[in-house]
Amino acid sequence: MWIRTLSSIIITSAVISAGCATPKAVANDAVNVTAAATVTKVELTQDQRFDAWKKDFTSRAIDRGYDPAIVRAMISPAKINPLALERDKTQPEFNSPIWAYVDKTTSVDRVTRGKALLSENQALFADIEARYRVNPYVLTAIWGLESSYGRILGTHYIIDALATFAFEGRRTKFGEEQLFATLDIVKSGKVRPAQLVGSWAGAMGMTQFIPTTFRDYAVDFDNNGNKDLWKSEADALGSAAHYLSRFGWRLEEPIYTEVKLAQGFDYSIADGRKMSVNDWSALGVAPITGQRWSADAGFLEAKLLVPAGAKGPKFLTFKNFDVIKKYNNSTSYALGIATLSEAYRDRATITAPWPKSDKQVGRTDLKAMQAKLTALGYDTKGADGIVGPNTRRAIRNWQTANGLTADGYIEQKLFEKIMVSR
Ligand SMILES: [Ca+2]
């Protein structure tokens, strides 16, 4: 069925193309005639290719055992989402610096609105905490950052957005996986297809769950038969709590503590390793407030986070910080959620200044730097323009070899030094 359809499309297009090309070739010189004659590759239009993809996906979904009527009803009307197509093709050259993100997170408006919602929903938060052992503050922070407390839910029909990804481009595998998850969600009977509205990237509801997350973690907390992450605060916040709980949230533990480091501290150990607070303390890591670590805190496992280098704020992060990164694998995001959940309680968020005069290094330059470091013998394991653990390690090793503080933090000045080194 699929093969016959595809070949008929190709034949039709070939006839159309030949029909268009011939008059032009005749009107022009012999070179063009030859060129036209040797064209054998036939270009389908985007709509033709998308239709072919829909037929193929539909038949594979039916092969997997999904109800043909549901699959056809959902996939046949799908349209290419131009924004998803555009965003899939472009990658930003610059990411905003962590301080821009974190400062924006704790805006007065967001903190004020969050406090009001915490107070209005006390009974619900108590029920959620009793069931999942997750505190109201982190849930409210997620609610605030993901959807501005339910005010911005996205207006895209997610089948269109996900089909656009699955069809072609960088995210075909992601798009397919999410479409299958969407079929699972509808099959469960707990969500109506018309509810499937979200962001251009396929994230839904007040918690912006992508379909796989929705399928695996969304709950019907108010028990009305519908997992309504769009309109039911109980379902949305209950689902976020369920998710955090499943990834190991610890009710009694903090997310992070801002710290100061002893003079001459060896930054090379801020490499993601886990140690007890007692061990960090012995190496000269102390709360920035000048207080001592409590006896209970001493046994917690923590990582040292130095996201903007030796000149910027430093943190010990606990298990809960990693749990937040399971929600969104970004240090900026996790720090944003962490500081926002403190701000609701009028606690100090981050006191040390960020190095805001530092210039960010763009993706193209980062790729060049990765190639340079690797050539110098500091292997970054590829040059993708993203500063991950391997690149940080390479930067640290280069810094150590060159008598600099090994904080693994890259900004324009250090980039320039690396690029001229030999
Ligand atoms: Ca419900």
The answer for residues whose C-beta is within 8 angstroms of residue 151's C-beta and 6 or more apart is: none
| Å from CA of 218 to ligand 1 middle | 10
Angle at 78 between CA 75 and CA 82, to 5 degrees: 145
Tens-digit pLDDT profile for residues 240-286 = 999 999 999 999 999 999 999 999 999 999 989 999 999 999 999 99
Please check whether residues 403 and 340 belong to one and the same domain. Answer: no
Domain identity same for 303 and 244: no
Tokens of 269: 């150990």
Quote the ligand 1 centre to 136 CA distance (angstroms): 19
Cα of 209 to ligand 1 centre, how many Å? 15
CA of 153 to the centre of ligand 1 (A): 17
Give the bridge partners for 343, in sequence order: none
Residues 195 and 303 in one domain: no
d(CA 146, ligand 1 centre) in Å? 19
Q: Are residues 87 and 218 in the same domain?
A: yes
Average pLDDT, the chain: 90
Over residues 330-366, the pLDDT tens digits come to 999 999 999 999 999 999 889 999 999 999 999 999 9
Distance 74 CA to ligand 1 centre (A): 23
> Same domain for 132 and 185?
yes
The proportion of the chain whose per-residue pLDDT surpasses 90, expressed as a percent, equals 83
pLDDT at 225: 98
Answer whether residue 356 is part of any domain: no
SS3 content of the chain, % helix, strand, coil (to 5): 55, 5, 40
Write the DSSP assignment of 218-286 as a string of letters: ---TT-SS---TTT-HHHHHHHHHHHHHHTT--TTS-SEEEEEE-TT--GGG-SS-EEEHHHHHHTTEE
Please tell me whether residues 26 and 125 are part of one structural domain.
Answer: no
Rounded to the nearest whole angstrom, what is the distance from the C-alpha of residue 124 to the centroid of ligand 1? 13
Q: Ligand 1 center to residue 226 CA distance, Å?
A: 4
User: Do 247 and 219 reside in the same domain of the chain?
Assistant: yes
Q: Are residues 245 and 199 in the same domain?
A: yes
Note whether 133 and 261 are same-domain residues.
no
> Is 7 a member of any domain?
yes
Please give the distance, rounded to the nearest whole angstrom, from the Cα atom of residue 222 to the centre of ligand 1. 5
The closest of 113, 105, 129 to 237, measured between CA atoms, is 129
Measure 233 CA to ligand 1 centroid, in angstroms. 9
Distance between Cα 230 and ligand 1 center (Å): 10
Whole-number Å distance between alpha carbons of 279 and 300: 10
Domain that holds residue 412: 363-420
Cα 344 to ligand 1 centroid, rounded to whole Å: 27
Task: Please tell me the distance between residue 196's alpha carbon and the centre of ligand 1 in angstroms.
Answer: 15
In this prediction, residue 357 carries a pLDDT of 96
DSSP helix/strand/coil, 291: coil
Cα–Cα dist 54/46, whole Å: 12
Rounded Cα distance between 71 and 90, Å, is 30
Q: Assign 200 to helix, strand or coil.
A: coil
> Do 175 and 208 lie in a common domain?
yes
**Interval 123-167: pLDDT, tens:** 999 999 999 999 999 999 999 999 999 999 999 999 999 999 999
Contact 149, 211 (CB under 8 A): no
Compute the distance from residue 207 Cα to the ligand 1 centre, in Å. Answer: 14
Q: Are residues 276 and 329 in the same domain?
A: no
Q: In this predicted model, what pLDDT tens digit does every residue of 202-238 receive, in sequence order? A: 999 999 999 999 999 999 999 999 999 999 999 999 9
Please say which residue of 78, 113, 129 terminates a domain.
78
Mean pLDDT within 380-396 = 94
E strand or H helix at 50: helix 46-63
Residue 21 confidence class, pLDDT cut points 50, 70, 90 = very low
Distance of alpha carbon 108 from alpha carbon 165, whole angstroms: 36
Indicate the number of domains in the chain.
Answer: 4
Q: How much distance in Å is there from the Cα of 28 to the middle of ligand 1?
A: 68
Using the mean position of ligand 1's atoms as its centre, give its distance from the Cα of residue 121 in Å: 16
Residue (of 266, 344, 351, 345) closest to 310 by Cα position: 266
At 122-132, the pLDDT tens digits run 999 999 999 99
In the numeric block, the tokens 């002893």 are attached to 262
Number of H helices, E strands in the chain: 19, 7
Distance CA 260, CA 289 (A): 9
pLDDT, position 40: 60
